[in-house]
Structure formats: C-alpha cells, structure tokens
Amino acid sequence: HISRNASALIRRLCAQNPAERLGYGRCGIIDIKQNKYFQGFDWIGLHRGTLTAPIQPVILGPDDTTNFDKYPKQNEVPPDETSGWDIDF
C-alpha cells in the first residue's frame, strides 16, 4: 500500500516532461522538502547525521550474519567467457 501523499510525490518526481518535475523549478530541492509527504521529517537531523534508524538490528559480533537471508551455497562454477567480445578492451 502506498499512501496518497507518497503516490502524489512519486507522480510529481517522475513527470514525463522534466520541466514539470518536482524540484526542477526555481526553488529546487526546497519544493521537494516542503512536499506533504515529508511533513514532520527532520531534514536538519538528516544533514547532521543524528537521525535514529527506524530499524536497529541486534548484532552479535563482527561476523554476525543472522540479520541476512540464507541462501543455498552454489558449488557450480560458471564457464569461462570465450566469445572474444572484450578483445578491444
């Protein structure tokens, strides 16, 4: 589900004509920052790097990978590329 404000923001950012895109006009990024979608967002905190992350995973140590998805190990080695497409590089 995408909120109405998010949908409107995306539509304005992705306008087919670049001159009609949000942020293109005289006020530039200010128009984006003042969009309803970002109402209440702490832009100063973002700039200073003081925002609290919305998700703070528990990390058990420097090698902890428990927060990542598990994938089966792939033992098959892909064949060498021998078509010669890169000869001129």
Per-residue pLDDT of the chain (89 residues; tens, 9 = 90+): 899 999 999 999 999 999 999 999 999 999 999 999 999 999 999 999 999 999 999 999 999 999 999 999 888 888 998 999 998 88
User: pTM to 2 decimals?
Assistant: 0.62
- At a CB cut-off of 8 Å and minimum separation 6, what does 41 contact? 33
Distances in whole angstroms, Cα of residue 66 to Cα of each of 17, 59, 72: 45, 8, 15
How far is residue 7's CA from residue 37's CA, in Å, rounded to a whole number? 9
How far is residue 48's CA from residue 44's CA, in Å, rounded to a whole number? 6
Consecutive H or E run containing 44: helix 43-48
How far is residue 52's CA from residue 58's CA, in Å, rounded to a whole number? 15
